[in-house]
Chain A
């Protein structure tokens, strides 16, 4: 069948642009699929392996002070397998720079790293020795702060300045995503890192001698966390029990896990959208090819080519497309997975996280592309094969020459040019293809809308958060909950301070049935101005005197709404007989973009905690010029754990949003390419179907531009319907995007501003125009005399 092969090659060459467009769209879909799949698979595998290798804990406990020599006895509790007691302490780095704000979280290591829970994986250098001023730091901290092994850093530990030497770098399964606290959103290695130190070394440097303040444990096989929780809590009660958290709620683990989950979902949806558009292009193209070759097919049949031979010949077109698209998509996806995993490595300190050449995904991608192309091909070719050769060689019976619907609006119809009439009639004459194209344009349009609105959303979010919600200039975080009066008084008299508001943030666990969430419960003062809760319309909302307010995302994950009752517990609550928590009425659900909080009036919260007037931070409005002075004043104070200015927060939020920006633009550009491919394909189809008609128009003396109008009027009609259909699709898509991108740290509002709808319409129109300009060149070079000279 050499000749048939030659025919296929010439056919493809003739309409190379369309095939290329199709290949590119398939490749884009597979590129996304492959790169994300490889990244997520590696992430998942690295996580599992790292956890196993380092014996990652099942539970995490914080206490005020538990005797070191009693730690081992906790293993006697039923269900507990291993226990490790540690001192975990956040210390400030003493720097030459005046108002630097760098912290290290010191985590102690047992005598033998090999037997403990949460072992440290040594990346470089050596483990710190016992009773030596030596530490291990996380590699990112070392790198970002331009430190090297052997350097010493000065730390302020419980009031003393202690120089410690860096002996190497290491990573722990506990700190894969390194964040100082949940409000930070984003790892920031310049300011915060993890240091590992021998327990013997640290315990003489801290004031609590012979005690640990942090306990991690593993469970025996098959034992659930909840079944050991109460026993542990009871045992630790007398030692200042603070919190007990299962692995699934541990910050680093839950962020990593939810990220993996989110990429997984995206991997399953986004590529499907692109492959869907590719399917539309491929199907309409093959359909057109086969319809146009009706006579050729009939002739082949007449000469005795078997159906199988003919089908295989026509499947060679989609097979070329599938193979090329699959290989291209698979290979470029594998290539992209390298920078992608590198990007994830910036967020996640996972030693095994790396990409490698994956035959598996190359194969999957090839197989996907082939199956999918061949299916469209088969679908497109079977009908004609059913015809007997005598029938196939005759031109198809014309569709009934009824007037199309639109022609009935005669005043509108008459006002159109005859080229427009030809084009529009065609839209209605080939309904299946038109519907496909409309759907394709709608998809492209909604992709663009979403990327446009995401851009808008993230900008909005930053502005709202910094200018309307967190209106303070400085937040002074206290190291422990302290009586409000004295602190507030002291701060209020600092230079430049114009307003001080206390705020009480306590860890709390909220429960509705089996649904449970650990959050920071925020107590706000009456009439507070420096932290505002906004309602849906962006108006400030006073916290009600009673009950509890939940953020939307929180309410959704607890499945509660206004008027429901939730059960609230907090480790800061002074317990009376067996009353660990209390049922509280949900008095409101409010939007919250950054953070995941519940809110109460401060007096109400203090009452709930059975504490007096206490607070955990001071929000300060002040002269920006004095911020530096304030920072240096308090950074050594033992009762202040951190000072954060609005500028720092803004920088953090912006940095986080930047990581969206890239995705969003990528999506818009890929959407544009799809739109171009779709319209280009449809112009080529119209062109080749109406070669004769258009050639006669040229012979009659029309300019290429006038002839083009036949095609463009068809396409603008499709475009108009596509945008109409695209608007509701955009709403659904942006809602689900916002939902899938929201997590416990931030939630994106599902909002489609008119600008986004308009912008996307312009963007889609642009890709239509680009595609049409290609069609224009084709018309210009149309060999009209030759076309009219040959018989079909």
Chain B
């Protein structure tokens, strides 16, 4: 399998006023094309920070990061924007929907800048929101909002799909439905998917699981036989 992405000694510092805190303390990893990866770890362990660096939302303070052999840590803002635009789909931990665009419009907004987007309506059907497409985010439940966020990430048809707790607010049934959509993308279209979750059950779907602890990659577990979403429960 090809290496899609490679991180070497990634560190991230934040300075809040006088104190400087090191959130990531040197992380090395490789991600292969078409992998399904789950990141597990305690709250505050640096999962979101790592995913942000992978997604080009921010850059590491120290370390090297390669995507398709291109160094992401050396490129300028403009190229990073292109990377996000053409390669990455992102589901944010707190959705970040545009409050005055409808469900359909929120998804379409992203489709408009994608190189080869999927059909907005198809995606909405897949996440079970086709009947809600003309509602505004404020008129949706938390779980529905989360699904809009997922639809928005998928619609770009990106090489790399990054999801920060995509099922946190969902019940089992809708959670499984969403996970199925993600797995379909992974298996049928060979997209690489990385999911942060607190749910150990979901980790059973992955090819590999990254355990993050205190800013370090504590353990990486390879799963020989990933489960289908229907087979897991929580």
Residues of A within 8 A of B (CB): 1-4, 6-7, 10-11, 14, 295-296, 298-299, 301-307, 309, 388-391, 393, 397, 786, 789-791
Contact = CB atoms under 8 A, between A and B. Distances in A.
Contacts of A389: 57-58, 84
The 5 closest A-B pairs by CB, nearest first: A304-B85, A390-B58, A3-B109, A390-B57, A304-B84
A235 B115 CA distance: 93
B131 interface: no
Contacts of A304: 81-86, 88, 113
B78 A302 contact: no
A305 B95 contact: no
Given A10-B100, A390-B57, A302 B112 contact: no
15 contacts: A7-B101, A10-B101, A11-B100, A295-B96, A296-B99, A298-B96, A302-B90, A303-B85, A303-B109, A303-B156, A304-B82, A304-B113, A306-B81, A388-B59, A391-B58
Given A302-B55, A302-B57, A393 B96 contact: yes
A10 B92 CA distance: 24
B105 interface: yes
Contacts of A301: 81, 84
B204 interface: no
A236 to B, nearest CB: 82
B109 A4 contact: yes
Contacts of A1: 112
Nearest to A303: B110
Contacts of B92: 299, 302, 393
Contacts of B88: 304
A2 B108 CA distance: 9
Interface string B89-125: 0101011101111000110111011000000000000
A622 to B, nearest CB: 79
A305 B113 contact: yes
A2 B106 CA distance: 11
Nearest to A791: B94
B89 to A, nearest CB: 9
B123 to A, nearest CB: 15
B222 interface: no
A10 B16 CA distance: 36
Contact of A307 (B16, B81, B95): B81
Nearest to A386: B77
B228 interface: no
Contact of B105 (A3, A306, A309, A789): A3
A752 to B, nearest CB: 48
Most chain A CB within 10 A, of B78, B84, B96, B108, is at: B96
Contact of A388 (B58, B82, B96, B142): B58
B101 A3 contact: yes
A789 B144 CA distance: 13
Contacts of B82: 304
A790 B136 CA distance: 11
A249 to B, nearest CB: 66
A790 B95 CA distance: 11
B138 to A, nearest CB: 5
B101 A6 contact: yes
A790 B59 CA distance: 30
B12 to A, nearest CB: 10
Nearest to A786: B138
Interface of B: 16, 52, 55, 57-59, 77-78, 81-86, 88, 90, 92, 94-96, 98-101, 105-106, 108-110, 112-113, 137-138, 142, 145, 152, 156
A303 B84 contact: yes
Most chain B CB within 10 A, of A1, A309, A393, is at: A393
A555 B231 CA distance: 101
Contacts of A3: 101, 105-106, 108-109, 112
A688 to B, nearest CB: 12
Given A299-B96, A299-B98, A791-B94, A306 B58 contact: no
Contacts of B57: 302, 388-390, 393
Contact of A306 (B16, B78, B110): B78
Given A304-B113, A389-B57, A6 B105 contact: yes
Contacts of B109: 3-4, 7, 303
A1 to B, nearest CB: 6
A197 B170 CA distance: 101
Given A302-B57, A388-B58, A389-B57, A7 B94 contact: no
A790 B99 contact: yes
Nearest to A14: B100
A316 to B, nearest CB: 14
A3 B108 CA distance: 7
A4 B16 CA distance: 34
Contacts of B52: 390
A389 B88 CA distance: 14
A397 B92 CA distance: 20
Most chain A CB within 10 A, of B78, B82, B109, B112, is at: B109
Contacts of B110: 303
B98 A296 contact: yes
Contacts of A309: 113
A609 B94 CA distance: 95
A305 B105 contact: no
A6 B100 CA distance: 9
Contacts of B83: 304
A716 B97 CA distance: 36
Contacts of A303: 84-85, 90, 109-110, 113, 152, 156
A3 B112 CA distance: 8
Given A304-B81, A304-B86, A390-B52, A7 B98 contact: yes
Given A302-B90, A304-B85, A389-B57, A789 B98 contact: no
Given A302-B96, A306-B85, A389-B84, 4 more contacts: A1-B112, A304-B85, A306-B78, A791-B94
Nearest to B152: A303
Most chain B CB within 10 A, of A296, A302, A786, A791, is at: A302
Nearest to A309: B113
Contacts of B138: 786, 789-790
Contacts of B77: 307
B66 to A, nearest CB: 19
Contacts of B156: 303
Most chain A CB within 10 A, of B55, B113, B137, is at: B113
A383 to B, nearest CB: 15
Nearest to B80: A388
A398 to B, nearest CB: 11
A643 to B, nearest CB: 76
Contacts of B142: 791
Contacts of B81: 301, 304-307
Contacts of B85: 303-306
A763 B82 CA distance: 55
B94 to A, nearest CB: 6
A618 B46 CA distance: 101
A299 B84 CA distance: 11
Contact of B84 (A295, A302, A307, A791): A302
Contacts of B145: 791
Contacts of B78: 306
Contacts of A302: 55, 57, 84, 90, 92, 96
A4 B98 CA distance: 10
Contacts of A296: 96, 98-99
A301 B78 CA distance: 11
B11 to A, nearest CB: 15
Most chain B CB within 10 A, of A3, A306, A389, is at: A3
Contacts of B84: 301-304, 389
A11 B99 CA distance: 10
A674 to B, nearest CB: 29
A125 B9 CA distance: 99
Contacts of A298: 96
Nearest to B158: A304
Contacts of A305: 81, 85, 113
A36 to B, nearest CB: 41
